[in-house]
Amino acid sequence: MLERCWSRQVQLEALQNNDHPWPSHGVQTMYEFGEDIGGMERSRYFGYSKDLYHRDHFDGQFLNEFPDLIGHASYKVISSNEQPDGTHKVVVHITAGAHLQNAARDLTFVLKRKDVGRRKGAFMTASLRQM
């Protein structure tokens, strides 16, 4: 449970301070934690098939889908549970920053443990969707 929380926590806290320590650091962190992005296969990170092999493709789509996550005011985990397929579903309540009149919404992270590669053993985001 601790590793799943850490993965999600790192991502959300990076987005709260998106441009620290460098511009778009938060969005880059989301890209780096994407379970099936960065390769030549299409990804279902956003819930539908999308070409995300290059970070620019991810950045543009992420900013279109989740502009309220950049500089959000707070987040709270509503639920977290393991699914029959071995993934972990984490529902998070996000309160956007003052720049969006403190709008709020719930998001679902589907986390999957990486089996191979340099991030072997880490929980990666297989998908991020609005509830």
Q: What is the mean pLDDT of residues 123-129?
A: 94
User: Which pTM does this prediction carry?
Assistant: 0.88
CA distance linking residue 110 with residue 1, whole number of Å: 14
From the list 20, 11, 18, the residue with the least C-alpha distance to 107 is 11
Where residue 53 falls among pLDDT bands split at 50, 70, 90?
confident
Residues 67-124: tens digit of each pLDDT: 889 999 999 999 999 999 999 999 999 998 776 666 889 999 999 998 888 888 889 9
> In the chain, what are the domain boundaries?
2-130
Percent of the chain scored above 70 by pLDDT?
92
Average pLDDT over the chain, rounded to whole?
89
Name, in order, each residue with C-beta under 8 angstroms of 39's C-beta and a sequence gap of 6 or more: 53
Domain 2-130 is in which class? alpha beta
* Residue 2 pLDDT: 47
